[in-house]
C-alpha cells in the first residue's frame, strides 16, 4: 500500500486522475530492477542500511516520490525482526545501572579510568551469558532502524529460525494478507504494474461509493467481493451497462459497493480491503469502475475516478477458483468434525431476485431433502443489513439465513435489529447454531426427477 505522502494524483474538472507511469519505460524498468536488487542484497542486514541505500537513489532525482513509492511496495513484501542474543531492554537497563556507579565514562579517560567502559560492557555480557560483541549489538537491536530484514518475497535470511510449521506469519482475517491469493514473483514488471494499481488504490481510500460493471469473469469478481467482505448490491445489466429486470436478460453485472469514506467505523480496515479488491477487476476482458472520491469532507464534495480495461492494469491475483476466508475454512473444518446429519456444501450459484442477485456462501443439505442457504456477511451497517433482510422477505427466499459478525459493524449507532434469520457471532461460527437455523428455515428441495 502507498501511504498518503507517496500517493500521486491530479484533480481537475471534477475528476481525479492517478498519475500512472508507463511500465515499459526503460527508465522506470531500470529503477525498479535496481530497487529489487537492493532489497535482495540487504536480506539479513539492518533496516537502516537498506533505507540509506534507497535514499541514495533519490539524491538528485525529482522522481523520488516514485522511487520511494516503489520501495514502499517492496517493503510490504518484507519482514523485519529484532535479532539479539538477549532481550535489548534487559541489556541496556543493566548497562545503565552499572555505568551509573562508574561515571565519568568518557572517550578520553584518565589513565586509571581507561577500562571503565569496557568493564561495564564486559560485566553485563558475562551476567547475561553473551559475548561482548553481542552485548554491543544487542543494546539497541530493537530499534526500528536496527531491525534486520529477515524476509524479502520468498527469500529468507538463513539465520532466522522458522516456526515448526514453516511459517513466520499467520493470516487472521479475510484478505489481510495477499499471500493466499497471489502468485508472486518479484520482477521489475510486477513492481511497475503493482505501482500503478497502488496509485489507484490510494485514491480509493477516500471513496464514498464505487460502481463496478463487468461483462465476464463474474464468479472471480464476486468471489473477491465476498473474500474482502465488501458491502455490495449486485444487479444484472445489458451490454450497454443498463440495468435489466431479470438475470435471464443479463449480459453482465453491476456491483454498487459502499466506499470506506462513507463509514463511521472501521473505515481504515475497510479501505484496505477495498484497495485489495481492485486487482481482481483486470481479470475481466471488459470492466468499468466509477468511484465518488471525497475531496472535501466538510463540504461533502466529491470528484469522480473512472477506470476500465483500457487503463492497462495487470492483475497479480490468480483467477478462476474460489478463495475461502479463514472464517469459511474454519467453519468447514469444524463441520467435518461435528456430528450432524446436515451436510455443508459450497453454494456457488447466485440467488436470483430478478432485478438483483445475492451471493450466498454455503448450502446445508439434509439427507431427507431439506435445504437451507447460508450467507456469511462481511462488513455491515444497520441500513445495509435491513435492506438485505427486506429483499429476502420480498423475494420469498424463505430458506436463506445470514451469519453476521458483531466485529464488522461499521456504524456509530447502537445496534438494535430484530431479525430472526440472523445468526450473530463474535469470532467464529458454531456448527450447532447454524444447524439450529437450518432446521428452522429449511425448505424441501424440489425432488430430483420433477
Partner 1 sequence: MTIAPYRLGLTATYERADDAHELLEDTGLIGPVVYEEEVDELAGEYLSEYETIHMQVELTDDERSQYDEEYGIYREYVDTHDFDLWKAEGYQEFLAHTSYDSDGRRALIAKQRAEELARTAVKKLDTLDTLLKRHHDDRTIIFTANNDFAYEISHEFIVPCITHQTKTDERTEILERFRTGEYSILATSQVLDEGIDVPAANVGIILSGSASKRQYAQRLGRILRPTDERQPARLYEIIASDTMENYVSQRRREGVEAGA
Residues that bind partner 1 (CB under 8 A): 58-62, 64, 89, 92-93, 95-100, 102-108, 117, 120-121, 136, 139-140, 143-145
Q: Are strands 301-308 and 148-152 parallel, antiparallel or unpaired?
A: unpaired
**Cβ nearer to partner 1, comparing 121 with 224:** 121
**Cβ nearer to partner 1, comparing 146 with 325:** 146
How far apart, in whole angstroms, are the C-alpha atoms of residue 91 and residue 191?
40
**Cβ nearer to partner 1, comparing 20 with 64:** 64
**Cβ nearer to partner 1, comparing 62 with 300:** 62
What's the full length of the chain, in residues?
450
The minimum distance between CB 383 and partner 1, in angstroms, equals: 35
Cα–chain-centroid distance for residue 28? 26
The minimum distance between CB 62 and partner 1, in angstroms, equals: 5
**Cβ nearer to partner 1, comparing 58 with 315:** 58
The minimum distance between CB 106 and partner 1, in angstroms, equals: 4
Terminal CA-CA length for the chain: 53
The minimum distance between CB 65 and partner 1, in angstroms, equals: 8
How far apart, in whole angstroms, are the C-alpha atoms of residue 141 and residue 80?
12
How far apart, in whole angstroms, are the C-alpha atoms of residue 6 and residue 338?
50
**Cβ nearer to partner 1, comparing 100 with 245:** 100
**Cβ nearer to partner 1, comparing 69 with 279:** 69
Q: From residue 99, how far is each of 94, 102, 110, 120, 122 by CA, in Å?
A: 8, 5, 16, 6, 12
How far apart, in whole angstroms, are the C-alpha atoms of residue 298 and residue 194?
32
The minimum distance between CB 293 and partner 1, in angstroms, equals: 23
**Cβ nearer to partner 1, comparing 82 with 262:** 82
The minimum distance between CB 63 and partner 1, in angstroms, equals: 9
How far apart, in whole angstroms, are the C-alpha atoms of residue 336 and residue 314?
38
For residues 34 and 57, is the Cβ–Cβ distance under 8 A?
yes
The minimum distance between CB 170 and partner 1, in angstroms, equals: 24
The minimum distance between CB 23 and partner 1, in angstroms, equals: 23
The minimum distance between CB 107 and partner 1, in angstroms, equals: 5
Cα–chain-centroid distance for residue 376? 18
The minimum distance between CB 48 and partner 1, in angstroms, equals: 9
The minimum distance between CB 129 and partner 1, in angstroms, equals: 20
**Cβ nearer to partner 1, comparing 120 with 438:** 120
**Cβ nearer to partner 1, comparing 96 with 432:** 96
Instruction: Spell 397-432 as b/e; 16+ CB within 10 A means b.
Output: bebbbbbbbeebbbbeeeeeeeeebbbebeeebebe
**Cβ nearer to partner 1, comparing 144 with 238:** 144
Amino acid at each position: 500500500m502507498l501511504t498518503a505522502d507517496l500517493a500521486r494524483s491530479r484533480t481537475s474538472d471534477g475528476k481525479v486522475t492517478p498519475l500512472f507511469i508507463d511500465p515499459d519505460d526503460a527508465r522506470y524498468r531500470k529503477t525498479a530492477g535496481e530497487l529489487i536488487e537492493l532489497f535482495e542484497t540487504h536480506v539479513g542486514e539492518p533496516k537502516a542500511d537498506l533505507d540509506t541505500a534507497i535514499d541514495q537513489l533519490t539524491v538528485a532525482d525529482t522522481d523520488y516520490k516514485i522511487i520511494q513509492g516503489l520501495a514502499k511496495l517492496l517493503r510490504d513484501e518484507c519482514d523485519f525482526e529484532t535479532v539479539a542474543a538477549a532481550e535489548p531492554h534487559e541489556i541496556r537497563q543493566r548497562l545503565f545501572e552499572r555505568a551509573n556507579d562508574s561515571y565519568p565514562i568518557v572517550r578520553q579517560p584518565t589513565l586509571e579510568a581507561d577500562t571503565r567502559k569496557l568493564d561495564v560492557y564486559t560485566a553485563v555480557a558475562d551476567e547475561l551469558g553473551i559475548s561482548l560483541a553481542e552485548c554491543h549489538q544487542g543494546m539497541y537491536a530493537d530499534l526500528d532502524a536496527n531491525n534486520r530484514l529477515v524476509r524479502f518475497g520468498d527469500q529468507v535470511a538463513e539465520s532466522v529460525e522458522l516456526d515448526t510449521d514453516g511459517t513466520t506469519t499467520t493470516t487472521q482475517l479475510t484478505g489481510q494478507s495477499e499471500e493466499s491469493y497471489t502468485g508472486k514473483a518479484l520482477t521489475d514488471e510486477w513492481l511497475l504494474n503493482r505501482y500503478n494499481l497502488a496509485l489507484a488504490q490510494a485514491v480509493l481510500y477516500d471513496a464514498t461509493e464505487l460502481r463496478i460493471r463487468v461483462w465476464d469473469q463474474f464468479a472471480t469478481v464476486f468471489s473477491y467481493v465476498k473474500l474482502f467482505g465488501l458491502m455490495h448490491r449486485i444487479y444484472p445489466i445489458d451490454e450497454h451497462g443498463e440495468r435489466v429486470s431479470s438475470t435471464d436478460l443479463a449480459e453482465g453485472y453491476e456491483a454498487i459497493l459502499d466506499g470506506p469514506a462513507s463509514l463511521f467505523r472501521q473505515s481504515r480496515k475497510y479501505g484496505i480491503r477495498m484497495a485489495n479488491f481492485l486487482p481482481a477487476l483486470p481479470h475481466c476482458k471488459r470492466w468499468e469502475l466509477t468511484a465518488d472520491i471525497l475531496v472535501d469532507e466538510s463540504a461533502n464534495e466529491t470528484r469522480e475516478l473512472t477506470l476500465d480495461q483500457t487503463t492497462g492494469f495487470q492483475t497479480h491475483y490468480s483467477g478462476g477458483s474460489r478463495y475461502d476466508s479463514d472464517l469459511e475454512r474454519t467453519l468447514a473444518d469444524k463441520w467435518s468434525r461435528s456430528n450432524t446429519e446436515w451436510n455443508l456444501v459450497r453454494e456457488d450459484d447466485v440467488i436470483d431476485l430478478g432485478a438483483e442477485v445475492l451471493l450466498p456462501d454455503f448450502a446445508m443439505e439434509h439427507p431427507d431433502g431439506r435445504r437451507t442457504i447460508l450467507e456469511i456477511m462481511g462488513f455491515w451497517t444497520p441500513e445495509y443489513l435491513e435492506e438485505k433482510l427486506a429483499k429476502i422477505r420480498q423475494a420469498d427466499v424463505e430458506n436463506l439465513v445470514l451469519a453476521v459478525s458483531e466485529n464488522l459493524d461499521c456504524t456509530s449507532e447502537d445496534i438494535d435489529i430484530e431479525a430472526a434469520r440472523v445468526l450473530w457471532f463474535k469470532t467464529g461460527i458454531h456448527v450447532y447454531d447454524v444447524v439450529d437455523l437450518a432446521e428452522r428455515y429449511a425448505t424441501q428441495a424440489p425432488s430430483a426427477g420433477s
